[in-house]
Structure 1
């Protein structure tokens, strides 16, 4: 939930009188034209009564413009967006509030909020006369089927005179942003090969002491076991010192997303690339919930949270939510890259200290890129690849990897030790996740690795 407040706006102090005349409505322009025409005819024909009628018609819109321009209304507006982050296809609620903070009542007001066209038409509301200190609240809903970050605002108020001769628009300066993240789906709590949550029997541990002389003590705390007191350090510091406990090192994982434009066909919410983005988001959130430190890596070599860092801490606390939010915000705006291959991602894995568990979502691969992906297996403890089947592409576009079934590429990956699965159109990721964790998939990967070594 977020709220943005706009400072009070003076509805008559900006833009000058010339801008105010630009706000004449069709009715006002018609009255002015008719008045001038009648005055001209009266002058030619010498009709004094017609001249008075013409002057009345011409003066009325002018008076309305001047009065509306000089009226010193002060109006405050605010917008509240809830939630500020929604999945694709989800809805968000926008609450608008307008307050008359001047000492004069307002006339009829029209409130409008500016939106990108992908979020639908601009919402408009007509507000009745507002007494001093009065408040009006309206709301509307927005829905986006495409990922992205969409600006909302600024709010605009349109004032009109009682005769409808003139309309003046006053805008507020504040904006808000709606973030539309990829759709995610829950995944079954299955272990992919060597996945570990960073604690228990499968965890890796780094000892804080290498020997009796290399101990790194800390001060005694209430409740510490007296058997851990390090007497030599206690004598040196003059206070009780205890040995540090073993520090658990959380297992980490890398989610690799292939964003190459040449690797995907089609566009829109149901395009293969959108499936890959949503699948990467689902996998990243699932691994975070399992307690792993996660980073997102793309074919360009860019990684989130950083080249050597992994997202965390995890869990239900606010810090875990921040890590998930960072990954989702990144995937909300990720787009196709102009890269031709996966070499930059391989270099990032090679220089980043390994990937731990590597989960890759790859587009169509040619022989060269399949070989590069195969070498990534050397940088990971366990590697699982979901390869979008290029056979679903009806006619390969010029310059795109094409034509041969993805099974030819899967053999190359399996020979390097990957657990590699082909992804068809519309396949649920949860089913693929179960398949990747099945003994059959592990056996196929082990068999392919054995054939590769042979």
Structure 2
């Protein structure tokens, strides 16, 4: 704070006068004028007392030299939409003198609730105080918390000065994850080693021959026969498990969704993608998220295997927390990405489609081992489905039939449908499709 005699400091102190302080100062000036005009000595003393008291309070606050440190802790840092997170604040008095009355106010976006305010009466030297508050949001996103503002005030409430800390944190509100049942999909296989039962849903490395020694390899793996043959140190390759791969395709086109806010079809699609992606990661799939704009998370296959399942799910949720509508009108960019490396299980969460997009999805199915499509009936998100429960959209039915004929397991989703129940139907429908298609179609699927 500024020292006395500094005009900038005095201006800060005068601006910090509260309503009470300004009222006392105005009353004192008025009393002094009346005492001068009326010649009343008693009124002069009253005016001096009323006018000097707020000025003395401002002077004492400007001379105050508190050394206060603050800290913030979020529990948790990542919270699903609609659930609460707790923010813990800690204020440490690192000076040798006790503090006076402190008022704390943390800066919080309005979507998380009102700004929390706390009053700390006195903090002893080298002491600390801890307070906490709750925040909640129904909307996904990354919300900044802070910086913490500290307000100093005198015991009479005449003056109030505000100081802000620099530290801030970020709370990530992610979409909800619904637990999904374990089902068996057509074209899906999970195993280890270089089995002959490999399908297009799996990818692994051929480890049948030894390789050259690399720094850090275990010497117990040295293959002496190959070392003598090639004249350099060779080691045996350990048989690596075949990794099941999966791609979750999320349709973010603004023209393909209806509704707004948490009850829109787009938010349902994001929740569905989060639930399916988390479920596949927990089952051991090397899973990536792909949008219609061609953006994929993680960006390469190597980064998706470097962390634990919890870290992979966290990366997926962080990406879905900030995903927004795209201005695109087709799935061309996503088709290019899948053409370069689209083997494995493909799960698509789609909005309203047209004939061109349906043809693109039919082409994508040829590269996937198994393909499941959540096709949203977006009209039900704006009330049309309730107004006309018996309606039949012939164009939409034709597109769904084309996807099924191309080998997709199609699940039509309407407003209010459960992701877990739709996922459970994928198993039943896959078996029904396999039984109805005959041996030729089953061979093509395999």
For the aligned pair, the TM-score class normalised by the smaller chain equals 0.7 to 0.9
Give how far 1:339 is off.
1.1
- Contact kept, 8 Å, 2:86 with 2:135, in 1: the verdict is yes
Residues 188, 445 of structure 1: alpha-carbon distance in 2 compared, 3 angstrom cutoff? farther
1:343-422 → structure 2 map (5 Å cutoff): 343-350=332-339, 352-392=340-380, 393-394=382-383, 406-422=396-412
Give the TM-score normalised by the residue count of structure 2: 0.87
Residues 431, 311 of structure 1: alpha-carbon distance in 2 compared, 3 angstrom cutoff? farther
Matched, 1:188 2:190: no
Give the equivalent residue in structure 2 for 1:327.
316
Measured in 2, the distance between the counterparts of 1:147 and 1:425 equals: 19
Measured in 2, the distance between the counterparts of 1:280 and 1:310 equals: 22
1:228-307 → structure 2 map (5 Å cutoff): 229-234=223-228, 236-237=230-231, 241-306=234-299
Give the equivalent residue in structure 2 for 1:34.
27
Residues 238, 262 of structure 1: alpha-carbon distance in 2 compared, 3 angstrom cutoff? closer
Matched, 1:436 2:426: yes
Matched, 1:51 2:44: yes
Give the equivalent residue in structure 2 for 1:3.
none
**SS in structure 1 of the partner of residue 401 of structure 2:** helix
Give how far 1:187 is off.
1.2
Residues 404, 11 of structure 1: alpha-carbon distance in 2 compared, 3 angstrom cutoff? farther
- Contact kept, 8 Å, 1:410 with 1:421, in 2: the verdict is no
- Contact kept, 8 Å, 2:274 with 2:316, in 1: the verdict is yes
- Contact kept, 8 Å, 1:342 with 1:369, in 2: the verdict is yes
Residues 188, 310 of structure 1: alpha-carbon distance in 2 compared, 3 angstrom cutoff? farther
Q: Deviations over 1:14-57 (max 9, x none)?
A: 97331221111110010111111122222222333322322221
Give how far 1:394 is off.
4.2
Residues 38, 430 of structure 1: alpha-carbon distance in 2 compared, 3 angstrom cutoff? same
- Contact kept, 8 Å, 2:298 with 2:304, in 1: the verdict is no
Residues 418, 161 of structure 1: alpha-carbon distance in 2 compared, 3 angstrom cutoff? same
Give the aligned length: 423
Give how far 1:395 is off.
5.9
Residues 441, 424 of structure 1: alpha-carbon distance in 2 compared, 3 angstrom cutoff? farther
Segments of structure 2 that go 5 or more residues without pairing to the other structure are 386-391
- Contact kept, 8 Å, 2:35 with 2:41, in 1: the verdict is yes
Give how far 1:87 is off.
1.0
**SS in structure 1 of the partner of residue 263 of structure 2:** coil
Matched, 1:19 2:12: yes
Measured in 2, the distance between the counterparts of 1:236 and 1:369 equals: 54
- Contact kept, 8 Å, 1:148 with 1:333, in 2: the verdict is yes
